[in-house]
Amino acid sequence: MRILKKTKINFVGHRKIAAIISSILIFIGLISLISKGGPELAIDFTGGTVVQLKFEEVVDIANCRTILAQNDFNNFEITTIGDDKEILIKTVFEGSNVELQEKLKTAFAPKIFDTRRVEVVGPKIGKELRSDALYAIVVALLLILIYIAFRFDFYYAIGSVAALIHDILITLGIFSLLGMEINLAIVAAFLTIVGYSLNDTIVVFDRIRENIKRHAKEKLEQIVNISLNETLSRTIVTSFTTLAVVVFLYFIGGEVIKLFAFALIVGVFVGTYSSLYVASPVMIYFENRAGRKIAKKK
């Protein structure tokens, strides 16, 4: 599907402006992270108590959140399990399990419920989850670097990984600025953003490789511009359809999936921007610095 006719946008010519914009966004995000002592981590990473309650009647999840907030439950997460009569609460509570159950009975009175389970997630487990999450992202980036280097060459790989790191840092910075928590679902969203952005970048790199053979006499910058313009229609269609789905999830999906959807909304915008203004310019920089000639790529 092609919604745009032949375009001649000078993407590469705007790379310095794009670099300034990206640097400012990343810098603001890093300042926010540093000033707050890092990202705001959810119970998944900091530890807390997990309580599963089974009510005799259907409960409204939004009303449950209001009740918990009014009864001084801080930093809590709440989701439904199975039908609308069972909920799972993750919260930070310093007292004993008995004290927690008494407080919940007082909060939800006169509703009748049965406590199915109470589990304590210690700080050590939270620390291990943080390490595992960081490890997953680093390994994903490393494998991507190897894959792109094998499929194209090392300088293409540097460009693609630079774009992915750019996307993660900006998304993380936005979460920090807005005071949003990072939980396991958000880590999954980050990995989804990596996959989405990488797919777009590979499409562009494939077109660049094809055009290097067709326009061997042109400069690399010109070939990249031609390739970006030729894939622009595909990029817009992919971004728009993906964005439509995640926006729908954000407004209709409920509180449980809202942060995940928000991360993907940011990721779609940032990922589309980086595939146009980050991955290819970084690749051009390293290719030119190495003094390679296009003829060698034929």
pLDDT at 1: 52
Indicate the SS3 state at residue 88: strand
How is the chain split into domains, by residue range?
12-40+125-297, 48-121
Among the ranges 43-47, 61-65, 70-74, which has the highest mean pLDDT value?
Answer: 61-65
Residue 183 confidence (pLDDT): 80
CB-CB contact of 277 with 16 (8 Å):
no
Percent of the chain with pLDDT over 90: 17
pLDDT digits (tens, 9 = 90+) for 242-276: 999 999 988 887 666 888 899 999 999 999 999 88
- Top CATH class of 48-121 equals alpha beta
Per-residue pLDDT, averaged over 82-88, amounts to 77
Contacts (Cβ under 8 Å, ≥6 apart) of 249: 257, 260, 261, 264
HSE (side-chain half, CA atoms, 13 Å) at 21: 11
What number is the average pLDDT over the span 77-81? 78
Q: Residue 264 corresponds to which amino acid?
A: L
* Chain centroid offset of residue 72 CA: 31
* Number of neighbouring beta carbons within 10 Å of residue 235: 18
For 48-52, 69-73, 116-120, 294-298, which range has the lowest pLDDT when averaged over its residues? 294-298
The pLDDT value given to residue 289: 80
pLDDT computed for residue 2 by the predictor: 56
Average pLDDT over residues 158-180: 90
**139-148, 265-274, 285-294: which has the minimum mean pLDDT?**
285-294
194-210 CB burial, b ≥16 within 10 A, e <16: bebbbebbbbbbebbbe
- Report long-range pairs for 94-97 (Cβ below 8 Å, ≥24 apart): 97/49
pLDDT given at position 4: 62
Instruction: State the burial class of residue 92 (Cβ atoms within 10 Å of its Cβ: 0-12, 13-18, 19+).
Output: middle
pLDDT score at 203:
87
- The CATH number corresponding to 12-40+125-297 among 3.40.1350.10, 1.10.3720.10, 1.20.1640.10, 1.20.1440.230 equals 1.20.1640.10
